[in-house]
Amino acid sequence: MNHALEALSQALTLVVRWDETLASIVRLSLEVSGSALFFGALLGLPLGAVLGATQFRGRGLVVALLQSLLGVPSVVVGVVVFLLLSRAGPLGFLGWLYDPAGMVVAQTLLVAPLVAAITRQVVEGARERLAEELTMMRLGFAERLFALIYDCRFSLLLALFSGFARAASEVGAVMIVGGNIEGMTRVMTTAIALETAKGDLTLALALGIVLVGIVATIHMVTSGLEALARRRAEG
């Protein structure tokens, strides 16, 4: 018990001191996860919005496939991306294996289905709620889609937050694709796993505190914006 408390105290001191080792790992984590969120949102938001706003033949199959992708283990995604980016793979010429770019690809494949699934649910709920108004306005497809997205724009922040949390907390895929190379591809989750295995709980706990703090801060901001939007709508 005393050992755990001592490690926690040292971890808090390390966070306050914010040395270059800690800062570089956190910085790379934010760069990789932020980039993955950007590309994942670029793919997932339009797909989810279209699925939520329309009905078409085969839609159920697409939704079922999208839901099934959410259950794919991150290590499987990591192995697939590894094979694609390896020297013998079709994308080996890019040189992205054991590079942050490859880690972004792996995390994007994890983020995009999650963003798309949440976006579909949010937009579909807005479509059902506003069905009468949309019918009366006789809007075209693009106008109806824009109206739905605008109506639930703050709720869609949940999709983006969930996507970032998925990317930032992921360890399996980035460990495989990035290799956890110090100063090059070591991010918070892989560093936590490594330092815990080595018995260096101070750095592991410090990174854990920072990771939880980042995710909690984004969650509070997202929840605050959504609550503000609801109050404005009710007022």
CATH code of residue 78: 1.10.3720.10
Handedness of CA 161, 163, 166, 171 (dihedral sign): negative
Mean pLDDT of 214-233: 77
Q: Which residue has the tokens 């992708």?
A: 69
* CA–CA–CA angle 199, 203, 205 (5° rounding): 90
Q: Which of 8-17, 115-124, 203-212 has the lowest mean pLDDT?
A: 8-17
Domain annotation covers residue 7: no
The answer as to whether 20 is a domain residue is no
Residue 201 is predicted with a pLDDT of 83
Report the half-sphere exposure of 115 (CA within 13 A, side-chain side).
26
Whether 10 has a pLDDT exceeding 60, the answer reads yes
Per-residue pLDDT at 16 exceeds 90: no
Question: Cα–Cα distance between 116 and 68 in angstroms, integer?
Answer: 12
Query: Is 168 within a domain?
Result: yes
Q: Residue 153 region, left (φ>0) first, then alpha (ψ -120 to 50), else beta?
A: alpha
Name the band, by pLDDT with cuts 50, 70 and 90, for residue 154.
confident
Placement of tokens 């755990």 in the chain: 4
Contact assessment for residue 103 and residue 159, using Cβ atoms and an 8 Å cutoff: no
Structurally, how many domains does the chain consist of? 1
pLDDT in tens, 40-56: 999 999 999 999 888 88
Structural domain range at position 119: 28-198
DSSP for residue 78: H
Query: Does pTM surpass 0.85?
Result: yes
112 vs 137, more confident: 112
Assess if residue 13 is contained within a domain.
no
**Structural tokens at position 103:** 């880690």
Mean pLDDT of 58-81: 91
For residue 33, give every residue at least 6 positions away whose Cβ sits within 8 Å of its Cβ, in sequence order, or none.
107, 164, 167, 168, 187
What does the mean pLDDT of the chain come to?
Answer: 87
